[in-house]
Structure 1
Amino acid sequence: MLRFVSLKFGRLYRCLKFLFVVGLFVVLLMNTHNLFVSFQRNELTDRRFINLNKCPACFGTSWCRKFMNGQVTFEKWGKLRLLDYFNVKNVYFAQYGEPREGTRRIVLKRLGSNQELAEIDQKMCKRATGRPRCDLIQAMYKTEFARLNGDVRLLTPDVVEGWSDLVHCPSQRLLDRLVRRYAETKDSGSFLLKNLKDTERMQLLMTLAFNPEPLVLQSFPSDEGWPFAKYLGACGRMVAVNYVGEELWSFYNAPWEKRVDLARQLMDIAEQLTNNDFDFALYLLDVSFDNFAVGPRDGKVIVVDAENIVVVDKRLVKQNKPENYDVWYESKFEDCDKEACLSFSKDILCSRVTVDHNYYAICQNLLSRYATWRGSTGGLLHDPPADVARDGHLEILLDECANPRKRYGRYQAAKELREYLTQLSNNAREGQI
Structure 2
Amino acid sequence: MSKIISVFVAIIAIAMITVLYTPIIPDFEVHRCPFCYGRDFCPNKQVSLRMSSFKDIINNLISVKNVYTTTNGLVLKKLGHTKDLNTMDFLICVFHRSHVMEPCEFQDVDLHRTNYTQALHYNMKTNHYNGFRVCGRNVDDSIDILIRRILKPDGGKDVMNVINLWVISIINGEPLFYKAFDAQHFSLPIYYGACGRLIAVEDCGQNLNEYEDYNWLSRARIARSIIGLALKFTSGDDDFRIYLTDVSPDNIVVNKTTLIAKFVDFGNILIVRKSNVSSVHHSDHYPNAVEHIYSEENVCQSSISDHNIYSICRFIISSSAPWPMMKGGLLHSIPIKISEENPQLEQLITNCVQPNEEMDSGDRFAAIFKLDNALKDILGMHPIDTSNLQLG
Give the TM interval when normalised to the shorter protein: 0.7 to 0.9
Residues 427, 140 of structure 1: alpha-carbon distance in 2 compared, 3 angstrom cutoff: farther
Matched, 1:109 2:77: yes
Residues 255, 331 of structure 1: alpha-carbon distance in 2 compared, 3 angstrom cutoff: same
Equivalent in the alignment of 1:63: 41
Helix, strand or coil at the partner of 1:281: strand
Helix, strand or coil at the partner of 1:412: helix
What 5-or-longer segments of structure 1 have no aligned partner? 1-20, 97-104, 183-187, 319-324
1:236 and 1:124 mapped to 2: Cα distance? 15
Measure how far apart 1:176 and its partner are: 3.4
2:338 and 2:19 mapped to 1: Cα distance? 57
Residues 159, 248 of structure 1: alpha-carbon distance in 2 compared, 3 angstrom cutoff: closer
Matched, 1:387 2:337: yes
Q: What amino acid sits opposite 1:416 in the alignment? A: K
Q: Say whether the 8 Å CA contact 2:321–2:329 is kept in structure 1.
A: yes
Alignment partner of 2:175 out of 214, 217, 229? 214
Equivalent in the alignment of 2:390: none
Q: Say whether the 8 Å CA contact 1:262–1:301 is kept in structure 2.
A: yes
Alignment partner of 2:51 out of 76, 93, 104? 76
Equivalent in the alignment of 1:13: none
Matched, 1:43 2:25: yes
| Residue deviations 1:338-361 (CA, integer Å, cap 9, x gap) | 3xx212222221111121111100
Measure how far apart 1:275 and its partner are: 1.2
Q: Say whether the 8 Å CA contact 1:155–1:175 is kept in structure 2.
A: no
Q: How many residues in Structure 1 have an aligned counterpart in Structure 2? A: 368
Larger radius of gyration: 1
Q: Say whether the 8 Å CA contact 1:216–1:306 is kept in structure 2.
A: yes
Moved more, 362-371 or 246-255: 246-255
Helix, strand or coil at the partner of 2:366: helix
| Residue deviations 1:173-230 (CA, integer Å, cap 9, x gap) | 5543444344xxxxx424x33x122x2211111112310111112221323x212111
Q: Say whether the 8 Å CA contact 1:122–1:133 is kept in structure 2.
A: no
Helix, strand or coil at the partner of 2:85: helix
Percent of residue pairs identical = 25
Equivalent in the alignment of 1:201: 162
1:95 and 1:85 mapped to 2: Cα distance? 14
Equivalent in the alignment of 2:367: 413
2:355 and 2:195 mapped to 1: Cα distance? 46
Helix, strand or coil at the partner of 2:70: strand
Q: Say whether the 8 Å CA contact 1:284–1:309 is kept in structure 2.
A: yes
Equivalent in the alignment of 2:31: 53
1:229 and 1:284 mapped to 2: Cα distance? 16
Equivalent in the alignment of 2:153: 189
Whose RCO is larger (CA < 8 A, sep 6+)? 2
Residues 220, 42 of structure 1: alpha-carbon distance in 2 compared, 3 angstrom cutoff: same
Alignment partner of 1:399 out of 345, 350, 369? 350
Measure how far apart 1:117 and its partner are: 0.9
| Residue deviations 1:221-249 (CA, integer Å, cap 9, x gap) | 323x2121110111011110011011111
Instruction: Kindly report the root-mean-square deviation, in angstroms, between the aligned alpha carbons of the 2 structures.
Output: 3.4
Residues 424, 38 of structure 1: alpha-carbon distance in 2 compared, 3 angstrom cutoff: closer
Measure how far apart 1:384 and its partner are: 0.1
Matched, 1:312 2:272: yes
Matched, 1:276 2:240: no
1:375 and 1:299 mapped to 2: Cα distance? 18
So what's the TM-score if we normalise by structure 1? 0.75
Equivalences for residues 14-413 of structure 1 within 5 A:
40=22, 43-44=25-26, 49-64=27-42, 66=43, 69-76=44-51, 86-96=62-72, 105-127=73-95, 128-131=97-100, 134-138=103-107, 147-149=114-116, 157=121, 160-163=124-127, 164-169=130-135, 170-182=139-151, 188-190=152-154, 192-193=155-156, 195-197=157-159, 199-223=160-184, 225-314=185-274, 317-318=275-276, 325-336=277-288, 338=290, 341-374=291-324, 376-390=326-340, 391-406=342-357, 408-413=362-367
Helix, strand or coil at the partner of 1:62: coil
Residues 421, 348 of structure 1: alpha-carbon distance in 2 compared, 3 angstrom cutoff: same
Equivalent in the alignment of 2:389: none
Residues 133, 402 of structure 1: alpha-carbon distance in 2 compared, 3 angstrom cutoff: farther
What 5-or-longer segments of structure 2 have no aligned partner? 387-392
1:147 and 1:78 mapped to 2: Cα distance? 47
Residues 381, 350 of structure 1: alpha-carbon distance in 2 compared, 3 angstrom cutoff: same
Helix, strand or coil at the partner of 2:292: coil
2:150 and 2:167 mapped to 1: Cα distance? 16
So what's the TM-score if we normalise by structure 2? 0.82
